[in-house]
Structure 1
Amino acid sequence: MSTHEARLQALREQLKRDRLDGFVVPISDEHMSEYVGDYAQRLAWLTGFQGSAGSAVVLPEEAAIFVDGRYTLQVREQVDGNHWQYVGVPQTSVAQWLGEHASEGARIGYDAWLHTRAWAEQASAALARKGATLVPVDTNPVDAVWPDRPEPSTARLVVQPQELTGKGAGEKRQEIADWLHAHKADAVILSALDSIAWTFNIRGKDVSRTPVALAYAVVHGDATADLYVAPEKMAEDVAQHLGNAVRVHDRAAFARDFAALAGKTVVVDPERAVAAIFAGLDRAGADAVALREPTVLAKAIKNQVEIAGQRAAQARDGAALSRFLHWISVEAPKGGLTELSASDRLEAFRKETGKLEDLSFDTISGAGPNGAVVHYRVSEETNRPIETDSLYLVDSGAQYRDGTTDVTRTVAIGMPTAEMRDRFTRVLKGHIALAMAVFPQGTRGGQLDTLARQYLWAAGLDYAHGTGHGVGSFLGVHEGPQRIAMSAGGQAGTDEPLRAGMILSNEPGYYKTGEYGIRIENLVLVEDRDVPGAEKPMLGFETLTFAPIERRLIDVTMLSPAERQWVDSYHAKVLAVVGPQLDGEPKAWLEAQCAPL
């Protein structure tokens, strides 16, 4: 019996002891984080799936794992199809599947600290139609059968100074208090880790690749706050930074202290707070009001200090990536490179800046067919050699104190085929169309997505992921609420108006299963755009990422004069920003890469 088969069997036996007929296992933590600490990696422990988004349902006789189009290939490689059904979302939801597969009268368990209230309501309704019920558990049954489950991190908090945030924590709390008065509320609960880090100008090391700390916060109408964090994480400089207006409590006391909110109107974000928080407030006699909490938009719209920091981080990171691209152009043709050795070398170039705090996500280092796995994560088991006459896709990013980066480049190793050049150029044309877009204020990300896909669609091609996500300032590499993606399926963020100061990725791609993957990704800043004769305020994008685009994959005959001009202008900026940071052979290589088409 395999390890994961044994774990599945152990969970089923635990469910019998708990008098449950099924259980839902998401990738989630108590803060609805995208990336979670090791202690919360229940889905990976149970199934072997290493992706960053997914859920599973375990019933007595069957089990299913739910992933979106990014992970269609990966889930089949990592999860045993003899024991798990593969289900695609959003085509089928967990709630819908439960309604079809749970038996009449079944008691399906869920951990209310790992799901939103909306999800619980949806699943309850689907089960009710079958005569089954959704049951919140007091103890997560996965934890009961996970003998060596890691403890939550005890890493200390650090202060993010105002010269990098551009705004003091006290000023941020006052703005939240003003918002509460405008909404006739007494307090707001902050449970999203990046919201807490941003509000209090603190950072942490509790989640891999995201500089946040496990905490909860309640901000009150008088601009004071209660911060709930493990005592061992506090240091004297952090306490002084927080000041007397922030009362610090043990994180374990958070739910118990709901009683202090009895009779008060408390804002809770339904997208970012778990069902257990709503239930706890209801039991305590508080009036929980479901509204998006005020830091979400404030955090997304970067101030001038944050934008300056991001520009500095991008320039530094572009030089590290350019050194890597030069290195791989020299070393790959010799043979002997692998996905792991390449990603390790790229991280080393970033470390050589002396400013690297962490990567912003696990590097996607995909050679040949592995490049077609959209969110591929290389391991010792999957590590492929980087071979001649193939494509190599590297999607990577860094966490610096002054900014968070995310960039993808596709590299031709040896001689690319005509098809590779055609597909790459179509992706490039879509990237340029989005980069050059000018649009009125109020435009949503979902309205721009088609610009990036049009040239692929013209050839009957597409890609199964969004085109752009928000990015934080030394915070999450994926940050809402803005997003550029097809609006179908109710994807969060596609209906969010883009506003000046927001940072997003621009990353169309193309993936040929079993052969190669292509993606071109830069980060862009939404900026006010002066359009002569315009009858309404207009916006556009400033490209923030600077690294050369693979010339040998561009079919210049497919580019319009305006597109050629964009490439030449972009490469001129790359040379201006990155060139002074290089010397010798890397600089000569960069000059050749950035020469006009």
Structure 2
Amino acid sequence: MQTHEARLAALREELKRRELDGFVVPISDEHMSEYVGEYAQRLEWLTGFGGSAGTAVVLANAIDSKGAAMFVDGRYTIQVRDQVDGKLWDYESIPQTSPAEWLGRNVGEGARIGFDPWLHSPGWAKAAEKALAKKGATLVAVETNPIDSVWQDRPAPSTAFARPHDEALAGRSSAEKRGEIAEWLVANGYDATVITALDSIAWLFNIRGNDVSRTPVALSFAIVHADGTAELFMAPEKVTPALSTHLGNAVTLRDRAAFEDALAATKGQTIAVDPDRSVAAIFRALNDAGAIVKEERDPVVLPKAIKTGAEQNGHRAAQSRDGAAVAKFLNWIAREAPSGRVTELDASDRLEAFRAESDMLTDLSFDTISGAGPNGAVVHYRVSEETNRTLQPNSVYLVDSGGQYADGTTDITRTVWVGPGEAPAEVKDRFTRVLKGHIALATAVFPKGTVGSQLDTLARMFLWQAGVDYAHGTGHGVGSYLSVHEGPQNIGKGGRPNEQPLLPGMFLSNEPGYYKTGEYGIRIENLVLVIPQEIEGAETEMMGFETLTFAPIDRNLIDVALLTEGERGWIDDYHAKVLAVVGPQLAGEALGWLEVQCAPLSR
């Protein structure tokens, strides 16, 4: 097996053969997915980096420096240094430095920098082109990806069957959804829209698949027309008679390989395309065909985010069984971890086994973050045989995990103290401040039109009072048996502001945290539902959150003296609900443990 140094050298030789002076390697696929299939894991193959967001830039010739850089955001600052060889790569932080800016500083006049137009947005391509032009350099769209030429054992795309998703769980038929998109197209004077995001396609056609680990989607493209008909482009081997019957006569199934030809046949048509969710190659193909391209947000994104009553009820059912699995796991950790014999991999495997006991688990919703001690301070840590640590007695353990069930997608983080001793005062202080922020957000009441960034301060303010913070968002949208990270809503600070108001029916996470590099990490995450809030005498429409996740919060880490009466009341009420929802699914020692964990806090 090639070393990462050998892979980098092979890529550089391929770039020279193609007369390219550099190449940009993102974590992406043809659908701008967050999580990609094995065939598209080019960045991990080249560098060893296993995170879900990052970009590499490789120069063909490195004379005075490494000539290769890895770009990640604050979630992966520690992980990138653990997984990517610093002798071969420079580490760069986003948003402080972008790949385009780095290229502008490090290439010379006349340089030709390659990029795969099927892996980058048109906005990225324009920014990179502009930065390079200042140095007299050129951005070159490659016809085939040079990494694919040197990745000798590259996996093929999945050929797993696509399958219908039960309309009773979806709450709306695919025909109804397509009709709504068609009305939008007619209202705006558009002939069609190109849909490329895999979760959008899955939602729109009420289909699911097994082509991407942890996300139940099927590799496909779609074109929806103003008359309500649609073309679905999917490899023929993925299509079953049941799928064809489910889609009906208004949907034409075509080979995925025919998608580019379909784009080339749009001359004179007005086509809506999302510049943030569709790659540069699609825009190029439409423009070359003579289509009139209109940049619009994917029309599926917002209706997908507003869950139907069926989806909300399904999610509650999924959360109930998931809470039982997590409670069994936390009981197991409390019993076994103080022995010093439980590893991070042992724990993540055991948690998955508890989830699988329901026989309704189809997959995890993401790779479990099982972080003992200092590994818990790596925000998006992914345990491996090389990094696997033992949960030491008298230490902090963080576990962020979720399940994919046909009726819902879950995501929960719990931080626990591994005894037998008592947690240090600093750890309790930080945990309690995170908990206070979590409660402040969970109990927020806000007017119609509020965006997530306006609520973010609530989750951070108690940490700020101690002079600390966390370098990740406070909340992300969650799909319904789809992607665990879903837009357009979120709760966060900094960067480009999210202008999407929070609306009833949206799922979000509530996950403030604190991380002390080299020592421990803390995060408390529940999922919440945006709901209308009835207030007597209110003069405007108000909203709030319903907490959907039910699993005990470790009372061993709570400094009760830091809590207000209202906060103690929230915790007691929450634990009473945990006991009511989860308790009937447990028995024996596990139930006894849960009853102790859910008892009211001492006053």
Specify the TM-score bucket, using the shorter chain as the normaliser: over 0.9
Residues 1:116 and 2:121 aligned together: yes
Aligned residue identity for 2:36: V
Aligned-pair CA distance for 1:144: 0.7
Q: Which amino acid aligns with 1:549?
A: I
1:499-518 map, 5 Å: 499-518=503-522
- Does residue 199 of structure 1 match 2:204? yes
Question: Deviation above 6 Å: which 4+ runs of structure 1?
Answer: none
Q: 1:381 Cα shift? A: 0.6
Structure 1: how far apart are the matches of 2:233 and 2:600? 55
1:92 aligns with 2:101: no
2:564 aligns to what? 560
The residue that corresponds to 1:529 in the other structure is 533
> Aligned to 2:179, what secondary structure does the other structure show?
helix
Q: Provide structure 2 residue ranges, at least 5 long, that are not aligned to the other structure.
A: none
Q: Following the alignment from structure 1 to structure 2, what is the Cα–Cα distance between the partners of residues 478 and 125?
A: 31
Q: Deviations over 1:308-338 (max 9, x none)?
A: 0000000110001001111111111223100
Q: State how far apart, in whole Å, the 1-side matches of 2:16 and 2:383 are.
A: 37
1:176 is the counterpart of 2:181: yes
**Partner residue, 1:462:** 469
**Pair 1:490-2:496 in alignment:** yes
Deviation at 1:392, TM superposition (A): 0.5
Matched AA of 1:154: T
Which amino acid is the alignment partner of residue 67 of structure 1? V
- Which of 446, 451, 455 does residue 458 from structure 2 map onto? 451
Question: Aligned partners of 1:490 and 1:135: how far apart in 2?
Answer: 28
Secondary structure of 1:473's counterpart equals: coil
For 1:329, the equivalent position in structure 2 comes to: 334
Return the alpha-carbon distance in structure 1 between the equivalents of residues 471 and 263 of structure 2. 42
Q: How far apart are 1:490 and its partner, in Å? A: 1.4
Amino acid at match of 1:507: E
Which residue of structure 2 lines up, in the alignment, with residue 47 of structure 1?
47
Q: Partners in 2 of 1:353 and 1:328 — Cα distance?
A: 20
Q: Is 1:385 aligned to residue 393 of structure 2?
A: no
- Distance in 2 of aligned mates of 1:259 and 1:137: 19
User: Structure 2 vs 1, CA of residues 2 and 153 (structure 1 numbering), >3 Å: closer, same or farther?
Assistant: closer
Q: Judging changes above 3 Å, is the alpha-carbon distance between structure 1 residues 22 and 538 closer, same or farther for their aligned structure 2 residues?
A: same
Matches within 5 A, 1:217-296: 217-296=222-301
Q: Deviations over 1:359-397 (max 9, x none)?
A: 000000000110000000000010000110000000000
**Aligned counterpart for 2:193 among listed residues 175, 184, 188:** 188
Which of 530, 539, 547 aligns to 2:543? It is: 539
Q: For residue 57 of structure 1, what is the aligned residue in structure 2?
A: 57
Who is 2:82 aligned against? Answer: 77
Q: Deviations over 1:87-119 (max 9, x none)?
A: 000111111111111111100000000000000
Find the partner of 1:549 among 535, 546, 553.
553
Give the superposition deviation at 1:495: 2.6
Once the two structures are TM-superposed, the CA of residue 533 in structure 1 deviates from its matched residue by 1.6
> 2-side partners of 1:219 and 1:427: how far apart?
45
Quick check: 319-328 or 259-268, which moved more? 259-268
Measured in 1, the distance between the counterparts of 2:340 and 2:287 equals 63
Whole-angstrom CA distance in 2 between matches of 1:102 and 1:227: 42
Question: Is residue 478 of structure 2 the alignment partner of residue 471 of structure 1?
Answer: yes
Identity of aligned residues (%): 68
Residue by residue over 1:388-443, the C-alpha shift from the partner in whole angstroms, topping out at 9 and shown as x without a partner, is 00000000000000000000000100131111000000000000000000000110
Given the two structures, how large is their TM-score scaled by the length of structure 2?
0.98
The Cα offsets for residues 468-492 of structure 1, whole Å up to 9 and x where unpaired, read as 0000000000000101000x2216x
**8 Å contact 2:338–2:394 — kept in the other structure?**
no
The worse-fitting range, judged by mean Cα deviation, of 249-258 and 202-211 is 249-258
1: CA distance, partners of 2:566 / 2:499: 30
Structure 1 length normalisation: TM-score?
A: 0.99
Look up the equivalent residue of 1:282 and give its one-letter code.
N
What is the aligned partner in structure 1 of residue 410 from structure 2? 405
The alpha-carbon deviation at position 2 of structure 1 amounts to: 7.3
Give the residue type in structure 2 aligned to 1:7.
R
Aligned letter for 2:358? Answer: T
- Which residue in the other structure is 2:26 paired with? 26
Instruction: Figure out how many residues of one structure are paired with residues of the other and give that number.
Output: 594
The 3-state SS of whatever aligns with 1:11 is helix
The one-letter code matched in structure 1 to 2:562 is M
Cα shift readout 1:477-531 (whole Å, capped 9, x = no counterpart): 0000101000x2216xx33211010000000000000100000000000000011
- Code of the residue aligned with 1:266 in structure 2: it is I
Q: Matches of 2:416 and 2:228 in 1, distance apart? A: 51
Letter in 1 for 2:488: P
CA RMSD of aligned residues (A): 0.9
Q: Which amino acid aligns with 1:565?
A: G
Q: Which amino acid aligns with 2:187?
A: A
What secondary structure is seen at the aligned counterpart in 1 of 2:455?
helix
Note the C-alpha offset of 1:535: 1.2
Offset at residue 259 of structure 1 (A): 2.8
Question: 3-state SS of the aligned residue for 2:265?
Answer: helix
Q: Structure 1 CA distance, aligned partners of 2:41 and 2:429? A: 40
